[in-house]
Amino acid sequence: MTSIPTDLNKATPMSTLTSIPSDTPSPASAAQDELLRLLRHASKGDQSAFQALYRQTSARLYAVALRLLRRRDWADEVMQEAYVRIWHNASEYVSERGHVLTWMISILRYRAIDRIRRERARGWSGDTLDNEDEEAASEDDNPLLLLQGHRRADQLNNCMNSLREEQRQCIASAFFDGYTHEELSERLQTPLGTIKSWVRRGLQALRRCLEQ
Amino acid sequence: MNYNRPELIEILAAEYALGTLRGRARERMTALLRDSQAMRAAVWRWESRLGSMALSLREATPPASIWSAIEQRIQPNTVVVLMPRARRLWQGFSAVATAAALIMAFLLTTTAPQQPAADHVAVFSNQQAQPQWLVSFDSASGKLTARALNVAATQVNAYELWMLPGGDSAPRSLGLLPTANHAIYSKLSADKAQTLRAAAGLAISLEPAGGSPTGLPTGPVLYQAPLLQL
C-alpha cells in the first residue's frame, strides 16, 4: 500500500463506513458541503473564502500536477493557471458536475495535459524526473497500486479491479501519466488498434460496474 | 459521425475526460461540448467518476509562492493616469441606444435569484457600436460585476478596467476584464466603493498579460463609458 491515509480516513475507518446508512451525512459529504460553501462565496468575489478553498484542496491538486508533469516548475505554473481558472469559473460550478474536489481536479488535469502535449511536441520524453522529485514520485510510481487505500476511490477501485489487467493498466496510465493511445502503444509495445480497443472496452466495463 | 448516438457520446466523453484524445479529435470535442448538453453532461459524469482516482495519490503540499502568485493574478491593484479620448457624436448615440437595450436586459435578469444586485451600470461598445462589456456595481455591498459579450481573448494582452474619480485624481484600477462570454465578480474595498459611487466614469486600457505591471499605463485607452445610476 503506497498511499498515506488522509484525515478523512482517520476520522472514519473504512470498516465502519459500510454500516452507515446512505442517508446519514458522511464525512465525505460534510467535506463536500464545506468546499461548496467556500466556492459559492468565492464566486461572489470573496477572496478569503477562495484562499480557504485553496488551503483545503491544493495538496490534492498539487499531487496530481506533480504526478502528471514530473517537474516542479511546470507543476507550479499549471497550479497557478488552474486556480486562476477556478476563481473565474467558480460561478459555473453546478452540482451535476459532481464533487467540488473532482471538478477542481478536472480543471487542473486538462491544463496539465495541455502542458504535457506541448512539452512532448517539443521533444520532452516524460521519462526523466527532476532529481529533487525522484523521491516523491518513485514510491507511487505504479499507477495500479495508487488505486488502493482511499475510501472515496473504493468503488472505483473495486470496479478497476474487475477489469482485465491490460484494460486497467491503460486507463490508469492514461489518467495518472497523461499518455495518449499512441504513447501507450509505444510503451506497451502493442499495436495502436489493440490499445484503443483496450481503453474503450475498459471504460465501457468501468461504467457498467460503477452504475450497478 | 452521428454524435447523437448515446454510446458514441459516452465513449467520446470518457476518452476526453481520461485525456487520451489528442489533436483534431480533442478540438472537435471542444466544439461538441459547446453545442451539446448531452455531451457536457456525459463529460461531467466521467470527470466525476475518474476524478476520484486522483484521491489515491499521496497529498503534496505546494510551495507558498504558488498561492502568492495566484493571489496577485486574481487581484490586480494599480494606479495609472489615463488620457481622455474623443468620440464622434453619432457613435456615442448609437452606443447609448444599444446600451439602453442592454440595461433593460440586465434589469430583467437581475431579478432572478443568485444574480448580484446592482444600482449602477456601464456598457462599453466598440466603434461599430457593438457592446463589448457590461459592468455593474452595487454601491451598498461594493460588489462589482464585469461581463464580457463575445470579446475575443488575447494571449499577450489584457483588458484592464479603471475608474476615473474626476477632478485631479488619478484613475484607479478595478481589475482585469474577462473575455469570451465570461463574467467576473469582485468585492471592492469600502474606500474604492465610495470613490466609485462618485466617479466621473470608467475606462478600459490595453495592458500586458497580467495587467499594468508598473502602475503606469503601458497601452492605449480603448474605451470610456459613464457609470449610470439606475
Pairwise CB contact (< 8 Å): B55 & A175: no
* B46 domain residue, yes or no: yes
Q: Does A83 share its domain with A5? A: yes
Judge if A69 and A115 occupy the same domain: yes
- What's the first-to-final CA gap in chain B, in angstroms? 50
User: For position A207, which CATH number holds?
Assistant: 1.10.10.10
Please indicate, yes or no, whether residues A74 and A178 belong to a single structural domain of this protein: no
CATH of the domain at A77: 1.10.1740.10
Q: How far is B95 from chain A (nearest CA, A)?
A: 28
Residue A124: give the domain boundaries: 1-12+26-128
Q: Tell me: do A154 and A113 sit in the same domain.
A: no
The span from the CA of B107 to the CA of A126, in Å, is: 52
Tell me which residue in A50, A79, A105 faces B51 most closely, judged by beta carbons. A105
Q: Cβ contact (<8 Å) for A99 and B63?
A: no
Q: How far apart are CA A53 and CA A158, in angstroms?
A: 30
Q: Let me know: does A24 contact A167? Beta carbons within 8 Å.
A: no
Taking CB atoms and an 8 Å limit, are B58 and A140 in contact across chains?
A: yes
Residues across chain B = 230
B29 with B120, same domain?
Answer: no
CA–CA separation, B185 and A90 (whole Å)? 10
Q: Are residues A122 and A35 in the same domain?
A: yes
Which of A128, A155, A186 delimits the end of a domain? A128
CA–CA separation, A8 and A94 (whole Å) = 24
User: In angstroms, rounded to a whole number, what is the distance separating the alpha carbons of residues B102 and A90?
Assistant: 24
Report yes or no on A136 lying in a domain. no
pLDDT category at A56 given cuts 50, 70, 90 is very high
In a shared domain, residues B133 and B161 = yes
- Secondary structure (3-state) at B68: helix
Same domain, A89 and A146: no
Strands B157-164 and B201-208: antiparallel
Domain containing residue B45: 6-56
Same-domain status, A109 and A4: yes
* Same domain as A114, residue A54: yes
The ipTM estimated for the assembled molecules is: 0.79
Last residue of a domain, one of A128, A151, A172: A128
The DSSP element (H or E) to which A119 belongs, if any, is: helix A100-121
- Average pLDDT of chain A is 79
Task: Examine the domain organization and report whether A171 and A194 are in the same domain.
Answer: yes
Q: Do B156 and B106 reside in the same domain of the chain?
A: yes
Task: Tell me, yes or no, whether B67 lies in a domain.
Answer: no
Same domain for B186 and B86, yes or no, is yes
Q: Please give the residue that has the higher pLDDT: either A121 or A35.
A: A35
Please tell me the total number of residues recorded for chain A in this structure: 212
Instruction: Identify whether residues A84 and A61 lie together within a single domain.
Output: yes
Same domain? For B35 and B142 the reply is no
Cβ pair A66:B60 closer than 8 A: yes
Assigned domain for B98 exists: yes
Q: CB contact, 8 Å: B71 with chain A?
A: yes
Asked whether residue B196 is domain-assigned, the answer is yes
**Which chain A positions have a beta carbon within 8 Å of B71's beta carbon?**
47, 51
Specify whether the CB–CB gap between A81 and A108 falls below 8 A: no
Q: pLDDT tens, A38-47? A: 999 999 888 8
HSE-CB of B165 using CA atoms within 13 angstroms: 16
Residues B20 and B110 placed together within one structural domain of the fold: no
Total count of domains within chain A: 2
Taking a C-beta distance cutoff of 8 angstroms, is the pair A97, A103 a contact? yes
At A135 the pLDDT is 43
What does pLDDT average to over chain B?
Answer: 79
Write out chain A residues lying below 8 Å of B41, CB-based: 96
The rounded distance, in Å, linking the Cα atoms of A42 and B186 is 9
Q: Region of A149 please: left (phi>0), alpha (psi -120 to 50) or beta.
A: left
A1 and A47 housed in the same domain: yes
Which one-letter amino acid corresponds to residue B11? Answer: I
Residue B40 CA to residue B42 CA, distance in Å, equals 5
What amino acid is encoded at B226 in this protein?
P
Instruction: State the total domains in chain B.
Output: 2
Closest by Cα among B51, B67, B212, B160 to A84: B67
Nearest-Cα residue of chain A relative to residue B13: A203
Q: Which residue of A has its CA nearest to B184?
A: A88
CA dist., res. B76 & res. B74, Å (int): 6
Judging contacts by C-beta atoms under 8 Å, the chain A residues touching residue B143 are: 44-45
Is residue A187 assigned to a domain? yes
pLDDT by residue (tens digit) across B67-112? 999 988 886 443 333 333 434 444 445 555 666 666 666 655 544 4
Q: How many CA atoms lie within 13 A of B73 on its CB side?
A: 23
> Is A35 domain-assigned?
yes
B24 and B90 assigned to the same domain: no
- The partner residues of A79 in beta bridges, in order of sequence, read none
Chain B residue with minimum CA distance to A76: B66
Q: A135 lies in a domain?
A: no
> Which chain A residues are Cβ-neighbours of B116 within 8 angstroms?
44
- Residues B57, A63: contact at Cβ < 8 Å? yes
Which chain A residues touch B39 with a CB distance below 8 Å? Answer: none
B11 pLDDT above the threshold of 80: yes
Structure-block grid coordinates of residue B215: 502602475
**Res. A156 pLDDT band, cuts 50 70 90:** confident
pLDDT-wise least confident of A74-78, A130-134, A185-189, B164-168: A130-134
Say if the Cβ atoms of A210 and B49 lie within 8 Å: yes
Q: CA nearest B216: which of B120, B84, B89, B81?
A: B81
Shared-domain flag, residues A101 and A177: no
Spell out which residues of chain A touch residue B45, defining contact as CB-CB under 8 Å.
98
Q: Look at residue A13 in the predicted model and tell me its pLDDT.
A: 31
Boundary residue ending a domain (A105, A128, A151)? A128
Residue A31 lies in a domain: yes
Query: Can you tell me the distance from the alpha carbon of A204 to that of B49, in angstroms, rounded to the nearest whole number?
Result: 12
